[in-house]
């Protein structure tokens, strides 16, 4: 049986898209290889958010191309955002690549792989146009003369958002991602996503609910709804009902699915938090108390330049409203340092908002110019050392805030959904609190998949250590 290995870079959307591709290949008889050396097909799902992520994927593929010397039939492919933005140009640098599939073509990857391997000649199932690269324009020598022609398909396709809906679940898997929409129309000036993921397109509520019901019936207890601008779900397709946006209607419907105990979503935009969504955090018990709320900058001047659509004051007001709706809510954020023209004053404004908002964690990124985005050609691009310095200073502020906030949890009882072996220590189990904090416990197979009350013993920063807060006898009847 042929085997496939998929390497995924980037966000949860990419993880989810790779899972769909795995599922389709498995349905055609492919097995999932443990590592790239065992595989007959190697696919890299790429990310374009930063230049570094693209370079990493290109370098990785360059190294994998060496495997072809010993294994000429090996199929090498790129999928996802970088495949979409660079298309056939990738072949200039990496002529051994056989397959390039864009972000609206994940459902075609299994067909493309079969065609490259000479298995049948399945046409694109949805009538999609397969666009061959202009091989005549490639530099010589590009590849051996008998090499099969690469397949490149980065066309857009109506309805492609409805194709990411199947899962590959591990035994006793209790959490799952559910892709509810694709694309983003916001045009933030630093972001490449609108060109790599296309216009906003949402799946119907009924279809998503059926998928979540299937997950629940398979043992999943927690779902995370995914979209590039997730809380603006359905705004072009579905009407508001009783003052509730399509996204809040969807949250209610997903929370109603029997067997699902927890619901999360990522990544939202601050402008998508209207009253109905803020109120949902106070009235939907299954909606977890954690919001990842990208700030990007605390400077109103830069927020305008970034085209973010809110001010620092409006952002902080939203933070206060969320904390009012759920006082235990955890807030995390994304911040860019070194955006073109960022002054020390702008940076100080970001530090101020960080201190005011008291984030539980922040993902801080040094600005990286992205192809064809307005910010890439703005004046006053900052040198790397300035970006690095601000990154370090902001990290220090965040660490100080997190330390203080995290210590508050020590000694408290919280509910943990136990997921299984810890990623850093397979002899321990790990789970997450409703606020998305990682908790390490002693390994006990009976706890896997359980919502377990635990008492936090200590924290080392962003990780917590805990013990079940019930006695073993009580657990026998409570957690069976
Ligand atoms: S809202 Fe997010 S995904 Fe959309 S353009 Fe802005 S940063 Fe990119």
> What spacing in Å lies between the alpha carbon of 362 and ligand 1's midpoint?
17
Closest CA to 126 of 148, 151, 152, 106: 106
pLDDT at residue number 133: 37
* Strand 75-80 relative to strand 41-46, pairing: parallel
Domains and CATH numbers, the chain: 3-153 (3.40.50.12160), 160-407 (3.80.30.20), 413-478 (2.40.50.140)
> DSSP assignment, residue 57?
H
- Taken in order 134, 136, 141, 147, the sign of the CA dihedral is positive
162 backbone dihedrals φ, ψ, rounded to 5° = -85, 0
Give, for ligand 1, the residue of 194, 295, 336 to mutate: max count of ligand atoms closer than 8 Å to Cβ: 194
Closest ligand 1 atom to residue 184 Cα is 4
Please, how many CA atoms are within 13 Å of residue 267, restricted to the half-sphere of its CB? 15
> What spacing in Å lies between the alpha carbon of 3 and ligand 1's midpoint?
36
Cβ contacts of 334 within 8 Å, gap of 6 or more: 267, 292, 294, 295, 296, 362, 363, 364, 365
CA–CA gap between residue 438 and residue 441 (Å, rounded): 10
> What spacing in Å lies between the alpha carbon of 135 and ligand 1's midpoint?
34
CA–CA gap between residue 350 and residue 394 (Å, rounded): 9
Does ligand 1 come within 6 angstroms of the Cβ of 181?
A: no
Burial class from Cβ neighbours inside 10 Å (0-12, 13-18, 19+) for residue 134 reads: exposed
> What spacing in Å lies between the alpha carbon of 243 and ligand 1's midpoint?
25
Does ligand 1 come within 6 angstroms of the Cβ of 186?
A: yes
pLDDT at residue number 147: 62
- Both tokens assigned to 472: 């073993």
- Both tokens assigned to 270: 């601050």
Name which residue sits closest to atom 6 of ligand 1, judged by CA.
188
Give, for ligand 1, the residue of 184, 230, 272, 309 to mutate: max count of ligand atoms closer than 8 Å to Cβ: 184
Name which residue sits closest to atom 1 of ligand 1, judged by CA.
186
Start-to-end Cα distance in the chain: 39
Burial class from Cβ neighbours inside 10 Å (0-12, 13-18, 19+) for residue 311 reads: middle
> What spacing in Å lies between the alpha carbon of 45 and ligand 1's midpoint?
20
Does ligand 1 come within 6 angstroms of the Cβ of 295?
A: no
pLDDT tens string, the chain, 480 residues long: the values are 899 999 999 999 999 999 999 999 999 999 999 999 999 999 999 999 888 899 999 999 999 999 998 999 999 999 999 999 999 999 999 999 999 999 999 999 999 999 999 886 444 433 333 333 343 443 433 444 456 799 999 999 999 999 998 999 988 899 999 999 999 999 999 999 988 999 999 999 999 999 999 999 999 999 999 999 999 999 999 999 999 999 999 999 999 999 999 999 999 999 999 999 999 999 999 999 999 999 999 999 999 999 999 999 999 999 999 999 999 999 999 999 999 999 999 999 999 999 999 999 999 999 999 988 999 999 999 999 999 999 999 999 999 999 999 899 999 999 999 999 998 888 999 999 999 999 999 999 999 999 999 999 999 878 899 999 875 445 554 443
Phi-psi region at 234: left, alpha or beta (left = phi > 0; alpha = psi -120 to 50): left
pLDDT at residue number 373: 95
Residue whose pair of structure tokens reads 């994304």 in the numeric block: 334
- Both tokens assigned to 244: 């509730």
- Both tokens assigned to 428: 């321990």
Does ligand 1 come within 6 angstroms of the Cβ of 229?
A: yes
Closest ligand 1 atom to residue 269 Cα is 1
């Amino acid at each position: 049986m042929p085997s496939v290995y998929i390497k995924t870079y980037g966000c949860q959307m990419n993880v989810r898209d790779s899972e769909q591709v795995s599922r389709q290949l498995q349905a055609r008889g492919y097995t999932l290889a443990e590592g790239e050396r065992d595989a007959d097909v190697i696919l890299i799902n790429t990310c374009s958010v930063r230049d570094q992520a693209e370079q990493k994927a290109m370098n990785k593929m360059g190294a994998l191309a060496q495997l072809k010397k010993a294994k000429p039939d090996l199929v090498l492919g790129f999928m996802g955002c970088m495949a979409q933005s660079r298309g056939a140009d990738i072949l200039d640098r990496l002529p051994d690549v056989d397959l390039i599939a864009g972000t609206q073509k994940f459902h075609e990857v299994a067909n493309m792989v079969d065609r490259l391997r000479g298995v049948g000649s399945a046409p694109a199932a949805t009538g999609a146009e397969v666009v061959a690269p202009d091989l005549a324009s490639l530099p010589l020598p590009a590849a051996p003369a008998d090499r099969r022609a690469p397949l490149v398909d980065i066309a857009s396709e109506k309805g492609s958002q409805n194709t990411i809906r199947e899962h590959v679940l591990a035994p006793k898997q209790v959490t799952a991602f559910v892709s509810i929409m694709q694309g983003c129309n916001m045009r933030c000036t630093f972001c490449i996503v609108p060109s790599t993921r296309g216009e906003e397109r949402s799946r119907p509520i009924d279809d998503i609910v059926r998928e979540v019901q299937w997950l629940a019936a398979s043992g999943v207890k927690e779902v995370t709804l995914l979209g590039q601008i997730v809380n603006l779900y359905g705004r072009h397709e579905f009407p508001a009902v009783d003052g509730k946006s399509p996204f809040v209607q969807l949250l209610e419907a997903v929370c109603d699915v029997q067997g699902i105990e927890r619901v999360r979503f990522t990544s939202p935009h601050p402008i998508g938090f209207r009253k109905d969504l803020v109120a949902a955090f106070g009235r939907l018990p299954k909606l977890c108390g954690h919001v990842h709320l990208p700030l990007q900058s605390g400077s109103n001047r830069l927020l305008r330049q970034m085209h973010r659509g809110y001010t620092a004051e409006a952002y902080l007001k939203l933070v206060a409203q969320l904390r009012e709706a759920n006082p235990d809510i955890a807030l995390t954020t994304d911040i860019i340092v070194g955006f073109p023209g960022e002054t020390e004053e702008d940076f100080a404004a970001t530090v101020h908002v960080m201190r005011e908002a008291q984030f539980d964690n922040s993902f801080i990124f040094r600005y990286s110019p992205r192809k064809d985005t307005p910010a890439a050609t703005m004046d006053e691009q900052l040198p790397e050392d300035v970006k690095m310095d601000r990154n370090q200073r902001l990290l220090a502020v965040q660490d100080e805030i997190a330390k203080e906030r995290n210590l508050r949890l020590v000694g408290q009882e919280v509910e943990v959904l136990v997921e299984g072996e810890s990623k850093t220590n397979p002899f321990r189990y790990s789970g997450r609190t409703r606020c998305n904090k990682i908790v390490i416990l002693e390994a006990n197979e009976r706890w896997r998949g359980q919502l377990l009350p635990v008492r936090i013993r200590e924290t080392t920063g962003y990780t917590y250590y805990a013990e079940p807060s019930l006695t073993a006898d009580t657990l026998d009847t409570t957690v069976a």
